[in-house]
Amino acid sequence: MFFIPGFLISIATFPGVIVHELAHQIFCRISRVAVLDVCYFRFGSPAGYVIHEIPRKSSQHILIGIGPFFLNTILGALIALPGAIPVIKFGTGNIIDYIYIWLGISIAMHSFPSTGDAKSMWSEVIKKETSISMKVLTAPIVGIIYLCALGSVFWLDFFYGMAVAMFVPDLIIKLLV
């Protein structure tokens, strides 16, 4: 494996950063948590962010934190699908097909919540007033987020993006044909 600085990956996959932050904002709206500031993409660290009020409920915290996983995964697969069909099914494709696939991969690559999201969720877990059921649900999620962050050193996020953008459409094609 070789090392590529994170800011270069963010630049190459900027649509995924934008969708990731948009997902946080959407899940803030769904949870009725006020958004104070949003930066969808910038040249810096972090590449994007959403600043919101402190959620009143643990469930709001968790929903906002893991929202990008669901939205980025679904959008990544759907956007890659029109490009993946000719490439996978027929072994051909034009530049537009490969742009769809790149968009799908870049969006799906940014599905994993950040360690900042995990820290926020963990701060909710350790509160006394958080229910035991919410602690039992959230603690493993936080652990998985940290494992995925560690895995990104070994390109786990890229391989996840590839799987979503190529294998999910392939599975859909096989199911429909």
Average pLDDT for 1-17: 79
Please give the pLDDT value at position 103.
97
Token couple for 44: 């810096």
Question: In whole angstroms, what is the distance from residue 95 CA to residue 84 CA?
Answer: 12
Is residue 169's pLDDT more than 90? no
Burial 11-48 (b: 16+ CB within 10 A, else e): eebbbbbbbbbbbbbbbbeebebeeeeeebbeeeeebb
Average pLDDT, the chain: 91
pLDDT per position as a tens digit, 137-160: 999 999 999 999 888 888 899 999
Domain ranges of the chain: 6-176
Reply yes or no on whether the pLDDT at 36 is more than 80.
yes
- Tens of pLDDT, residue by residue over 53-86, are 999 998 999 999 999 999 999 999 999 999 998 9
